[in-house]
Each structure stands twice: as C-alpha cells, then as structure tokens.
Structure 1
Amino acid sequence: MNAKPPHRPCPKIHRWLALPLGLFFALIGLSGALALYGPALDLWLDPRLSIERPKAPPLALDPILAAVRAAHPRRPGSWTLELPRTPDGMLTAWYENPEETQGRFYAPLMVSVNPYTAEIVASRFWGETAATRLSDWHTQLGLGRTGWNWVGGLGLALVLTVVSGLWLGLSEPVGIKRIFTPGGGKRLGRLIRDGHRLFGLAIALPLLAQACTGFGLAFPRVPESLLGTSGMGHDDDGPAIRSTAMPNDRPVGLDEAVLLARGPFPHAEVRRVATPEGKTGTYRISLRQPWEVNQRHPLTTVWVDQYSGQIREVRNPARFGAGETAMTWLWPLHTGETWGTGGRFLWFLAGLAPALLFASGVLGWLIRRGRVRDMPVDFGPLWADIRHLAARARPLAAWLLKHGGQGAAWVVSAIKALLRKCA
C-alpha cells in the first residue's frame, strides 16, 4: 500500500488568502509606495509650493498665525503650525475640524503659508491634493472608518499570506540561475512559479515589516496592550493638559511659548506648534531631538500654560520604557524613514511588490488550471539580442560618461524653466 503524502496546509492558506485579497494588497501597496513621495508629487503638480532662493530669515510665528487667522476669520479655536523641514518649503497651518467637512472620517483644512512673507499660498482640504488622496487610499481605501478597519484587517491577512508564502518558498529553494539559464526545455508555467517564489523570498522581510507595523498603526491598542503602554497611537496628541493660571490681559504669545519650550531641549528642532483650545487650553510644542527615529512625527512634547508661560508637562522619549520605545518605531519602520533616503526607496519598491506577486500568482494559477496555455520558453535568443544591443550602446555609454554631467544640468534647467512658465 502506498503511503499518503503528508498534508501541507500552507499552499491552501496561501492560495485562499492571496487570490481573493491580492487585489486589495496591490492597491494598498501601490498607493502607499506613491504616498512615500506624495509631498514631492504635490510640489511637481503645484510649483507655487516651492520657494526659490529665499533671501531673508523666516518670520516669527506670531505674524504668520495672525495672517492665517485673518484669511480664515470664521475658524476659531486651535490651529497647528507645522514648520517646513527645508529652506524652500512651505509652513502648513492645520485646522482639524472645519465645518465644510463635518461627517468625514478625517478631512482637516491645510493652509500653505510662505514662512518668509506670511503670504497665504493655498487653502485646501484633506483629500484635495495628490498626496492626501493617496494617503486616504492607502489607509482607508477611501471608505472612512470602515475602510480604516478593513485595511487594518488586511494588514494581518498580509502577514499570514507572506508567512505561508515564505514557508512554501523555503521548502523548495529556487536559484536565479535555474530561471534564466538558456535552454533546458523550460515552460512558461514553471518560469512564472519560480520567478514568483524567488521574488517573494527576496521581498518577504520588508513586506512583513510593512504589514505588521501597518496593523499596529491601524489598531494601536493591540500593540499597546501587548507592550504595556497607553496613549502612544500615531494620532494621539498626548494627555489633555490644562492652563491653570488666572486669565489676564497679556497671554503668552506663540514665539514666547516656543522659546520657553526649547528650554529643556536646547538642541531639539521645533516641528509643530498647536495653539490653545479655549480658555483652559495650553500650547503644545512638538520637537525632535537629534537621536529620535521619527522624522516627521517626533514624540518630544512640551505643554505651556497660555497665561503664565509655566511648563505644565513634558514628554521626553529619552525616559520612555521599553514598551513605549518600541511603539515609537511603528511609524518610521512603516515608512522606511528609519534608514533615510535609501530606506524610503527600498520601501517604495516593497510597496510595488504585492501587485507584481498578485499578477504572477494569478497567471501561474490560471496556467495550472488550463485557463491560460502553457508554452515553451527559451532565453537563448533574448540573451543574444541583449549582447547585440550592449555592443551597439558602448559608444553612447562612453559619450554619457564624458558629457553626462553637462547634459543632466541642461535638462534640469529646461524643466525648471518650463515649470516657471506653466506657473
């Protein structure tokens, strides 16, 4: 009697998850990859948002806030000023709950301000720019709170899909030489399966990091409960600290509050300043210390009494416990900013991976089921064509090595001139 083959659940788990959910994985991955470069995309689409050759130091924050309030006199309450991270960048003033977008999951007003002149360059709601639309698709599939929960659940499903695929890939290793060696009677189905497996193994760890951190960002209470922390979610502004001093005729100004907040952290960079909400609110100043892994959303925070200037509360990541420190890594690991420009580009490529894996997986599945005809594949002629093209391209490559710098400078100058004319 022949022994029954051992039961292998991983192929079924991988197939049952990847086939019905793969399109959603692809959409979330593509939108997330593009969202990594969303600010640059917005700048390319709207050159007004770039300041060319600033010749003066930035203005103080008080006149900038006054200009924002004058442009939006019917928007009382707290404003948050996000300072530019580059000399040619805009300051962004955020108003969290405008009446025009009441009922939407998240749609604050974003006011772009020239920090050197206090000119109001643009006033737009979240979802009206390329970067924010991409962010909505990535975080909620454009479906609000319901979509947010779905995306969080899809993150967990992606973890299971990648783990099961990793198990399958390691159980039958594939060398790249086997895929691209000419001849050998290869067929399309085998080539697709081997390529899918090899690419999946290569990109598995970045995908796992993105999926796990994405789930943690969508449902922060889950990692908080596991790590024994609270109030560390990405959108958590910290405790509600109140101003306790007696109201007076000379409340603390914005620049004065920033100066006071820098006292405990003289080497930190100011990133965001939120004005008090109501008569009992405080200034909330967010700073980034040089060693913090969070580039855009640092955790160092100082709350300043709006009447007395007293520092009411300080949040210093240097004093975080192990669980709180682990929570601070969720965002920079999810975006790749932990490793700088190179890490962000690697995460961009990882964001494209679900679409490629879904396409190759579906094609391989269709070939196995006979829906797509299998056929022989021979890389011999392809390699011959590549060698022929390489030989013909050698003179061009030599010219580019000699004159490429001048040509690149000319192209950049031409693009800038065209953008100025379009503006």
Structure 2
Amino acid sequence: MTRATAMLPAPNLTGRARRGLLWAHRWLGLLGGIVVVLIGLTGSFIVFYREIDAALNPALYTPAGREREATLSEVMRAAAAADPAPIATILAPDRTWPVWVVIHAHETAKGRYPNRWTTMVDPSNGKVLGRRDYINAFSLKVYRLHYTLLLYEWWGKELVGVAGFMLLGLAMSGVILWWPRPGRFWRSVSVRKDVSLLRFVFDVHGTAGFWALLALTVISMTGVGIIFPDVVPPIVGLVSQPTADPSPRIEAPPPTGTPPLSPDAIMRSAQAAKPGMAVAMLSPPTETRNTWRVQFRAAGADPAVRARGAIWLDPWSGAVVHDRTSAAMSMGDRYLAEQLWIHNGATFGLIGRLLVFATGFAPLALFISGAIMWLKKRPGRIRTGQRV
C-alpha cells in the first residue's frame, strides 16, 4: 500500500447511509457467517486434500516400484475385474497420487450425488492396490461438504453459491465501513498492544478483513463462477468471447462391428497429438459421447493443477475430433477453464495454495470478532484512555 493510496479519502457516506450499511453488514455476517466459516475451513482443507488423502491411506497410494510397466489396457482390465461398473475417468499417476486411479460410475438414484467408486492400480505391475467408495472417503467427504454442504439433494450446491455472493457483499461493505481517515492507514491494518479487549477485537476484525480482502474477493468470485457456470461467461464475453464446452460425437461412425482402437493405441495417439504435454486424465466413450476425452497438463507441472485443456479422439481411428487445449482456446475460454485452479490457488503454485489455505481461516476470525462486537451492541462507543 503506497502513501498515496493511504491518503485516499474515505467513501462519502451520510450518517444514515453508514448506519444502514453497518446494519446490513452486521446481520449478513451474523446470519450467514456459520455457512461462510464452514466453507472457509473446508476450503483450507481441500487445498491439500489429495496430499492428506495419500497420507491417510498409504496402502492405496504406494506402488511396489518406481517403474511404470503396466499399460493403460492392463490397468483398465485390472480395474474392471475388481469393479465391473463402467469406467468414467482414469487418473494417470503423478507426484501426489503415484498410482492409476480408476473412477467407476455406479448406478445413482435420480437427484442424488453421483455414486462413484475408485480402484487404485499399481503402475509398476498392474495389480490392484484397493478399491473404495470414493464419495464417502474422509477427504472427499470434506470436499463434498465444501461444495454442497452435504445437502446435494436439497440445493446444497446452490446454497454454497449464494454464500459466495454473501462473502462478496461482506467484503465490499466491510472495506467501505473500515476505510480509515487520512494518515491512519497503518494504524487501521495492525493489531495494537496494551489496549482494551474490545479495542483488540476491533483491530483483529479490521486487520483480518483488510489483509484477506483481495484473496477472499477472488475466491468468492471464482467460487460463484464454478457453482453458477452460466453467470460468468457473459461477463467474460465483454473482454473475450468464450465458446461452449463441447461433448463431441462421431456423427457417422464406421459400420457396426468395426473394432475400436485399444486404450494403449488411444494413449499413443494422444501423446503424439500433444508431444510437449503429459496425459493427466482419460475418459472412455459413453452412451452420449462416443469419443475419448484426454486431458493434459504441462510436462513436469505441479499436479495440483490437475489438467489444462483436453482433446477428443475418434475411438476407431485415433484422430483428433476437437482440440480444447490452451493454444486453441480464446482468452475467455482459458479463464473459465482456469477458475478452479485460481479458486484453490494452484495457478500460482505452492505459494498460491498456502495463501488460499491461510485465507480460509479469515472468515472464522471475522465471524468471532464480529460477534463479540455485536454483543457489545455498539463497538464505536469505545472510550478508553489508550491510543486510537
């Protein structure tokens, strides 16, 4: 913060307008605070949920050797033998999960959270390390708590999106109410010693709100975009027009009985199509999409960014049907594809993830300090002999 910024005049609010904004800020925080705090704390957890999951389940994520001898075809056969349910997605080994993770789509009742099980396959020998109920594993349950409040069937995801809007409102109203008088900026963003408890709480509230403001704003904006995917594209389109995320089909498939390429051949076609990138995830053809979807990330990139872009391949010829990797996307498309990684900090590497992890605790500090000030009714009536 520069000296010039510190000298910016406070927003010109009348007494009535300021009291109205304070009332809205206070009650929005008190009524929605518990949900925002829960989302913040679980958000901190899931920044590192894959690492936590691997640490809690070493038997599932420890291959017998470092070599990757098992082919994709062998991995899929081993997974299918362990679980006959259709394979929805296959995660390639990386530094965090150094095994093949095969996700099976089990039958799901209408309106319920998708029922997914996983089979872990050792890349060194093709043997199954174990399988489990994916959505009810501890780490993934915390992920679901963050994403849907475990209320998927009762508009839980939408409620999380509304909480994102609330967080934006709290951030904006909070900075207006906090804005210091000229010359008092640094005093307004620090916690002072030798003051009353109420003054200390007031300082904590203002300081935590200021230093977390930018991160909370970015996290809430990207969170809203993830929950409500139709909201952001029109806004992004003002700068760069995004295109619809496709699910391409082969409209004129070969005659019935023509054998598709093996998974290994599909893998070779994908690697040949994008030689400078690493295959991160593969999704076999489905009833609605008769193409292979292969997602990539840069070779050697942090696996926290699970994938950046995808191509769709003809399962009979291996030809690229559609390219949606970074080089083929507009700036708007790239932003929309990057939202999740901005949201969890992975776009900015380990430092970004640590920043998001720490920011997840800010709503807790703000809620507790705000509640204490509310219990005192009028925090502005601090009359102490200490420096203010």
TM over 0.5: yes
Partner Cα separation in structure 1 for residue 227 and residue 140 of structure 2 = 17
1:231 aligns with 2:239: no
> Pairwise mapping of residues 160-239 of structure 1 onto structure 2 (< 5 A)?
160-171=169-180, 173=185, 175=187, 179-182=191-194, 186-228=195-237, 229-232=242-245, 238-239=246-247
CA displacement, residues 198-249 of structure 1 (integer Å, 9 cap, x when unaligned): 11111111011111100000001111222343435xxxxx323227223445
Which of 126, 134, 142 lines up with 1:134 in the alignment?
142
Aligned residue for 1:7, secondary structure, equals helix
Aligned residue for 1:221, secondary structure, equals coil
Tell me, yes or no, if the aligned pair for 1:54 and 1:87 is still in contact at 8 Å.
no
Where does residue 263 of structure 1 map in the other structure?
Answer: 272
Structure 1 letter corresponding to 2:172: V
**Cα displacement (A) at 1:124:** 2.0
Provide TM-score, normalisation by structure 1: 0.78
Partner Cα separation in structure 2 for residue 199 and residue 24 of structure 1 = 18
Where does residue 317 of structure 2 map in the other structure?
Answer: 308
**Cα displacement (A) at 1:195:** 1.7
**Cα displacement (A) at 1:5:** 4.1
Structure 2 letter corresponding to 1:28: I
Tell me, yes or no, if the aligned pair for 1:107 and 1:127 is still in contact at 8 Å.
yes
Partner Cα separation in structure 2 for residue 279 and residue 353 of structure 1 = 43
Q: How many aligned positions are there?
A: 361
Partner Cα separation in structure 1 for residue 292 and residue 203 of structure 2 = 57
Partner Cα separation in structure 1 for residue 100 and residue 125 of structure 2 = 11
Where does residue 367 of structure 1 map in the other structure?
Answer: 376
> Pairwise mapping of residues 310-325 of structure 1 onto structure 2 (< 5 A)?
310-325=319-334
Aligned residue for 1:81, secondary structure, equals strand
**Cα displacement (A) at 1:44:** 2.2
What is the percentage of aligned positions where both structures have the same residue? 25
Which of 337, 344, 347 lines up with 1:338 in the alignment?
347
> Pairwise mapping of residues 21-420 of structure 1 onto structure 2 (< 5 A)?
21-51=32-62, 54-73=65-84, 75-76=85-86, 78-86=87-95, 89-96=98-105, 98-99=106-107, 103-145=111-153, 146-171=155-180, 173=185, 175=187, 179-182=191-194, 186-228=195-237, 229-232=242-245, 238-242=246-250, 244-248=253-257, 250-278=259-287, 281-289=290-298, 296-368=305-377
Tell me, yes or no, if the aligned pair for 1:159 and 1:208 is still in contact at 8 Å.
yes
Tell me, yes or no, if the aligned pair for 1:294 and 1:329 is still in contact at 8 Å.
no
Partner Cα separation in structure 2 for residue 194 and residue 280 of structure 1 = 56
Partner Cα separation in structure 2 for residue 332 and residue 338 of structure 1 = 5
**Cα displacement (A) at 1:92:** 0.9
Distance 1:213 1:279, change over 3 A: closer
Structure with max Cα Rg: 1
Where does residue 386 of structure 1 map in the other structure?
Answer: none
Partner Cα separation in structure 2 for residue 377 and residue 128 of structure 1 = 55
**Cα displacement (A) at 1:24:** 0.7
Tell me, yes or no, if the aligned pair for 1:81 and 1:273 is still in contact at 8 Å.
yes
Tell me, yes or no, if the aligned pair for 2:41 and 2:361 is still in contact at 8 Å.
yes
The structure in which a higher percent of residues are helix is 1
Distance 1:5 1:82, change over 3 A: closer
Aligned residue for 1:277, secondary structure, equals coil
Query: Which is further off, 9-18 or 173-182?
Result: 173-182
Query: Which is further off, 114-123 or 283-292?
Result: 283-292
Partner Cα separation in structure 1 for residue 24 and residue 298 of structure 2 = 44
Tell me, yes or no, if the aligned pair for 1:36 and 1:335 is still in contact at 8 Å.
yes
Provide TM-score, normalisation by structure 2: 0.84
Aligned residue for 1:285, secondary structure, equals strand
Tell me, yes or no, if the aligned pair for 1:152 and 1:215 is still in contact at 8 Å.
yes
Structure 1 letter corresponding to 2:162: G
Aligned residue for 1:62, secondary structure, equals helix
Structure 1 letter corresponding to 2:192: F
Distance 1:119 1:103, change over 3 A: farther
Structure 1 letter corresponding to 2:127: E
1:19 aligns with 2:30: yes
Where does residue 419 of structure 1 map in the other structure?
Answer: none
